[in-house]
Each structure stands twice: as C-alpha cells, then as structure tokens.
C-alpha cells in the first residue's frame, strides 16, 4: 500500500474524530469570543478558570483514553465480549471519576484566591468554575461511550452530536451571557451554564444512538449481564492512571504559566488565554490524527503485526507534521486578524501577536508529541511517557518559563519560550522511545511482554 492509500485511510478515520474534538474546543472558543464582547476581565476569568478546570478534567479523560485502544485491540482479536465489558467498566469508572473531580473543583472554586489573580478576575472565575465543574458528570458519560465507539472505528456519531452541541451552546450563550428570552445577563456564569446544558444533551443523544443502533448490538448484551468488572477496572486503571497523570502534568505546566501571567496583569492574561484558545483549536487536528493512528496501531498490536505498526506510526507522524506546519504558517500570516476575532482592545492584540508566532512553532512539536504519547498508549506503554512528561514540563519547561519571564525580563514571551523548550524535549524523547521499543522483538512479531518489562529507554 502506497503513502497516498495510507493517508486516505488515516484521514477518513480521523476526520470525524477531528471534527468532534474541534467541536469540543469550539465550545470554549465561542465562550471566549462571546465573553470578549463584555470585556477583558470576563475573558481572563473564563480563561484562567478553564485552565484550572482542564488541569483536573484531563486526568480523568487521560484515564478514560485507554478505552479506545483496548476496544480496538479486543475487536481485532475477535473478542466482542471484552469490548462490551470494557464499555460497561468505562461507564462505571467515568461516573466515579466525574463525581470525585467535581467535588475537588468546587472546593478549589471556593478558594480561588490562592492563585493570586486580579480581584475582578477572581470574583468572576469562582462562579464560572463552580458551574462547569458540575458538567463533568454528563461529559464523562459521553466520553466513555465515545471512546468505545471510536475503538470500534465508528467515529461519526460522536462527531455529529458534538457539532450539534456546539450550535446549541452558542444559542445558550446568547441567552445566558447577554440576557435574552426573559433571562438576566449572567456573563461568564451564563457561559458555564450553557456548557452544562450542552453536555447533558450530548450525553443523552449518544446514549440513545448507541443503544438503538444495530451496529453496536453485538457488543451491548454484556452491559446488563452479571460479571466481575474488577479485572477490567484494574487493567484500565493500570494503563489509564499513568496516561491521566501524563496529561495532568502537561496541563499543570500550562496552568502554572497562566498563574505566572496573571502576576503580570489582566491584559497580559487576556492575551495569553486568547493564544491558548487558538492553539487548542489547531491542537485538536493533531489529537484527532493521533487517535486515528492509535486505533490502527492498536489493531495491528492486537494481532501481533509489527510491520503494520511501523507503517502506521510513520505515516501518522508525517501527516501530523505536514498539517501542523501548514497551520503554523497560516497563524503567522493572519495573526493580527485572528486575534481581533476575539477582542477589539488594541493593547491586548499587540501583546498576543508575538506569542501567537511562538505558538505557531510550538504546535508543530506539540502535535508530534501527542502522536508519540498516543502511539505508546496503543502498544500499552504508559509509565515511561508519564515520567518523560514530568521531567520535560515540570522540571525543565516550567522553570525555564519563570527564569525567562522574570529573571531575564522577557515577560509573556519568555513564558512561552520556556514551554517551547519543554515540549521540544518531550517530543524527542517520546518518539525515540517508541521506535526503540519497536526494535525489541524477534521474527517480525510484536512482543507485548517486552513492553511491560522494559523500564528504561
């Protein structure tokens, strides 16, 4: 099979995933744009509250992310019963995680002052964080079902539902943020309420679709049968917790940078959050492609085909590099116009422009890094990637951000340059590890035991 054939196959599988993930990010982007018409304090507050929210949410999402490759691997091995058991266990685990994280985030919202943000930002952020914390409960139900469906290579249902939810979210934002249809204007809290209602509808729609569609029928009877879920829970947690920690550490670094930026002032924080939002939108392209690649790799892993693992990993990386580079060039050329979509305050736009240039470079390496993580997860290697993330982000990138920003007086630009150092090192180490692991085999068959026993690169 030539590159064009692999590329077509990869894009076909990834397209619904990308659109679905873009839809999820667009909820936050539209919140930022619509709040930007109120003022910089609303944008800054929603931005920093979302950073804190994502810090904890991604731990749960990272833990749940292993459902997709586990389902894909079980399906390729002809184990339909295992797919159903993974789904049921994923739903149970998602509910427990969502309750735990909701409680943690509400407690944080009540003590938001510890982040030492400007007073007007803190007041707004507390209310916003409290309401979006509750949205974790329907979100994690949706995620468990989505991961299951993606693992079966049925990626379109969640895409359509997510896009529909974005449209609904925009309408709810219009009603609750600005105060229409007899509702009072609620500002950032209204945006959070819109997110909660949209996620409830997302979860309900996917539940109805999956349980009424014949394509899933062969996998669903196990949901109501009696079986011991403990072995599946242990397997998901054994793989998922390191993955969740890996994502937690990455977002922890970015959350810390947002706190650093808050020390510089509200305008700097608004500029920072706008660029983060733009980067998150383009980042979903790499994430979607890496998930599609991980499904193909996990499928090959399930039947021990190392040659296919090499091919799919190579073309996944190449595709991500090309696409992220193209978007990086686009961001550089149209940086000013893009930022003005979010806010009309000239000082904020001038602050955001130079760091958007850094973000254009940053996202290329970030895309390759997320591909490395997904590929390693597909072959059930999760512990070393977590250690790599901790070292590169928290031990190298974050200190560099602080030193560049405050000791070298580079300000906001220094914070982004420091994180660029961390992401570059993470990208190199994760992808090198993946290809070293692939060489630990004999007779062209992939040995999963080696992955579990090999502890160092």
| Average pLDDT along the chain, 457 residues, taken 10 residues at a time | 71 76 72 79 82 81 82 80 82 91 93 84 90 93 91 86 92 94 91 94 94 81 61 78 77 80 85 83 79 80 77 86 90 89 84 91 88 80 82 91 92 92 92 81 42 36
pLDDT number for residue 448: 43
- Domain with 18, as residue range(s), is 3-453
The neighbour count for residue 428, using CB atoms within 10 Å, is 16
Q: What is the DSSP letter of 65?
A: T
Question: Who's near 329: CB < 8 A, 6+ residues apart?
Answer: 360
Tokens representing residue 343 in the block: 């806010």
Report the predicted TM-score, pTM, of the whole model to 2 decimal places: 0.72
Classified as helix, coil or strand, 342 is: coil
> Which of 334, 319, 323, 332 has the alpha carbon at shortest distance from 360?
332
Nearest residue to 17 (alpha-carbon basis) of 293, 317, 321: 293
CA 185 to chain centre: 30
Q: What is the pLDDT of residue 225?
A: 58
Judge contact between 246 and 62, C-beta under 8 A. Answer: yes
| CB of 199 closer than 8 Å to CB of 102 | no
How many other C-beta atoms lie within 10 A of the C-beta of residue 227? 13
The count of other CB atoms within 10 Å of the CB of residue 349 is 20
Dist CA 78 CA 97 (whole Å): 30
- Count the domains in the chain: 1
pLDDT at residue 270, as a whole number? 83
């Amino acid at each position: 099979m030539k590159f064009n054939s692999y590329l077509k196959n990869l894009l076909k599988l990834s397209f619904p995933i990308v659109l679905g993930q873009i839809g999820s990010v667009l909820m936050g982007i539209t919140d930022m744009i619509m709040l930007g018409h109120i003022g910089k304090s609303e944008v800054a507050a929603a931005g920093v509250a979302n950073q804190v929210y994502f810090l904890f949410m991604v731990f749960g999402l990272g833990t749940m992310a292993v459902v997709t490759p586990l389902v894909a691997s079980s399906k390729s091995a002809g184990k339909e019963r295992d797919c159903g058991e993974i789904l049921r266990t994923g739903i149970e685990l998602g509910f427990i995680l969502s309750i735990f994280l909701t409680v943690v985030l509400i407690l944080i919202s009540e003590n938001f002052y510890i982040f030492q943000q400007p007073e007007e930002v803190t007041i707004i952020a507390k209310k916003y964080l409290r309401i979006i914390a509750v949205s974790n409960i329907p979100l994690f139900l949706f995620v468990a079902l989505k991961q299951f469906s993606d693992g079966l290579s049925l990626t379109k249902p969640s895409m359509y539902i997510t896009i529909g939810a974005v449209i609904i979210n925009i309408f709810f934002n219009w009603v609750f943020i600005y105060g229409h249809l007899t509702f009072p204007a609620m500002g950032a809290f209204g945006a959070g309420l819109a997110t909660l209602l949209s996620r409830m509808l997302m979860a309900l729609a996917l539940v109805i679709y999956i349980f009424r569609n014949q394509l899933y029928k062969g996998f669903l009877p196990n949901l109501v049968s009696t079986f011991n879920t403990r072995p599946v829970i242990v397997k998901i947690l054994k793989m998922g917790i390191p993955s969740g920690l890996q994502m937690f550490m990455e977002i922890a670094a970015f959350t810390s940078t947002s706190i650093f930026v808050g020390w510089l002032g509200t305008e700097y924080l608004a500029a920072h959050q706008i660029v983060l939002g733009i980067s998150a939108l383009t980042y979903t392209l790499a994430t979607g492609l890496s998930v599609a690649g991980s499904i193909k790799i996990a499928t090959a892993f399930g039947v021990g085909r190392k040659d296919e693992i090499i091919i799919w990993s190579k073309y996944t990386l190449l595709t991500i590099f090309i696409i992220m580079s193209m978007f990086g060039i686009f961001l550089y050329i149209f940086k000013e116009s893009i930022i003005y979509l979010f806010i009309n305050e000239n000082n904020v736009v001038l602050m955001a422009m130079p760091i958007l240039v850094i973000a254009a470079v940053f996202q290329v390496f970030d895309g390759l890094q997320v591909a490395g993580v997904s590929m390693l997860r597909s072959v059930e290697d999760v512990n070393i990637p977590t250690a790599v993330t901790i070292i590169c982000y928290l031990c190298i990138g974050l200190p560099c951000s602080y030193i560049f920003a405050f000791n070298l007086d580079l300000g906001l630009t220094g914070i982004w340059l420091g994180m660029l150092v961390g992401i570059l090192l993470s990208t190199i180490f994760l992808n090198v590890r993946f290809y070293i692991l692939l060489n630990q085999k004999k007779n062209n068959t992939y040995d999963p035991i080696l992955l579990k026993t090999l502890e160092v690169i």
